[in-house]
Amino acid sequence: MEVSAPVEFLTPLVVPNKLLLGPGPSNFPDRVREALSHPVLGHLHPETLKIMDDLKEGFKYLFQTTNPLTLCISASGHAGMETGLVNLLEKDDVILIAHSGIWGERAADMSKRIGGDVRLIKKPLGEQLSLLEARKHFELHKPKVFFITHGESSTGMLQNLDGFGELCHEYNCIFMVDAVITLGCVPFYADKWKIDVAYSGSQKVLNAPPGITPITFNSRAIDKITSRKTLVQSFNFDMHLLGEYWNCFPNKKRIYHHTVSPTLLYGLRESLAMFIEQGGLEASWKKHAMISQNLYKKLEANGLSLFIRNANERAPSITSVNVPANIDGTKVSSYIMQNYKVEISGGLGPTVGKIFRIGLMGTNARDEFVDKAINLLIEAIEAVKSQKL
């Protein structure tokens, strides 16, 4: 052989058990883990197609939409973002992007690659965009697409979406929302809020495996694709082709587009089944609100301060805590990981070194993990202080 077989493969696979209290992925419940070990089926076998149909209905419920074009992309959350943008944008189309953390930046990067004319509304980290401010930018830029992140995971900020749908209609603009960390843990009404395209993540509130991403397009968004002058640049993420594969169009036959991972479908279906059995959206919204309130109260009682000052502007799934002065936050996170195999993350992008991020999502949203996260943070901060780690 010109290249010999790597000897690493002669030692067994070792995967430690870690408690994931960071921004995601979150831990799988046993049922999801067991579902992942079902035998693989063909991607066009009737049993697989039935699971795909179930997931479409499940996500219509989660997104609160009747959109027939609701399906899952075979890739992680970034692919949801890219699918929206690559279908909606043509060369030189103006896209207006609300930017207050990392996700607006990512959307801008992708839009530029597609040839979009990117206009940013830059906000200080952790600050919401107001409708009034947005209106000024709509008037100035006359965008064809408006992108905003509902829960900015790099800061923990929850963006109020009231009125943005109406604003987009007024300016004949498509309204696209990143709901990766918010779907399932706070109210989200795609139809009522006039959201044209929304996507979420499987590995956050749903405790399902990463690598499969729910997305929904309404009729305005479909019209926008249908009226394109140019082909969607991506074959993988072309929503017409994906819609045909997922059998979303009543007048079109199902086609083979790609091989979806039946294994990921099993895991995602099981997580939705658990979500619905446990009381569905209302129960989950209530649980995440209660657990996060408890976390805020106890953090403050222990002398730690929250990065987002106003509690109504915090996403309950990911809470950002200010790193105390003169402490190296990365040492705190690694102390917790090394000693307890628990993930509490630092910041991301512009918040690196400024905050810790605690994620309490789905099955991990529990009072016992509130206490655990706080105790570990305090112990680790003290250790870093005293040992000058």
**Closer residue to ligand PMP (CB): 38 or 78:** 78
List binders of ligand PMP among 60-99 (CB under 6 A).
Answer: 76-78
Least distance between ligand PMP and beta carbon 208 (Å): 11
Rounded to whole angstroms, how far apart are CA atoms 337 and 181?
A: 23
Q: Looking at 163, 210, 280, 349, which residue binds ligand PMP (CB under 6 A)?
A: 210
Q: Looking at 181, 198, 291, 344, which residue binds ligand PMP (CB under 6 A)?
A: 181
For residue 357, say whether it is annotated as part of any ligand binding site. yes
CB atoms inside a 10 Å sphere around CB 202: 27
Please tell me whether residue 118 adopts helix, strand or coil conformation: strand
- DSSP per position, 282-343: HHHHHHHHHHHHHHHHHHHHTT--BSS-SGGGB-TTEEEEEPPTT--HHHHHHHHHHHH-EE
Question: Tell me, what amino acid is at 224?
Answer: K
Least distance between ligand PMP and beta carbon 32 (Å): 16
Q: Looking at 153, 155, 207, 216, which residue binds ligand PMP (CB under 6 A)?
A: 153
List binders of ligand PMP among 246-275 (CB under 6 A).
Answer: none
Crossing angle of helices 46-63 and 262-277, in 10° steps, is 40
* Segment interacting with ligand PMP, rule: CB under 6 A, options 38-46, 122-130, 149-157, 304-312: 149-157
Please tell me whether residue 64 adopts helix, strand or coil conformation: coil
Q: Looking at 82, 90, 93, 178, which residue binds ligand PMP (CB under 6 A)?
A: 178
Token duo for residue 354: 């400024």
- DSSP per position, 191-204: TTTT-SEEE--SSS
**Closer residue to ligand PMP (CB): 77 or 165:** 77
**Closer residue to ligand PMP (CB): 178 or 196:** 178
**Residue number of the CB atom closest to ligand PMP:** 77
Least distance between ligand PMP and beta carbon 219 (Å): 25
x/- site string to ligand PMP, residues 9 to 48, per CB under 6 A? Answer: --------------xx------------------------
Residue 60: partners with Cβ closer than 8 Å, 6 or more residues away: 66, 67, 70, 216
**Terminal CA-to-CA distance of the chain, rounded, Å?**
47
Cβ(117)–Cβ(92) under 8 Å? yes
Q: Looking at 98, 176, 180, 370, which residue binds ligand PMP (CB under 6 A)?
A: 180
Q: Which residues bind ligand PMP (CB under 6 A)?
A: 23-24, 76-78, 103, 149, 151, 153, 178, 180-181, 201, 210
Write out the binding residues for substrate. 357
Write out the binding residues. 357
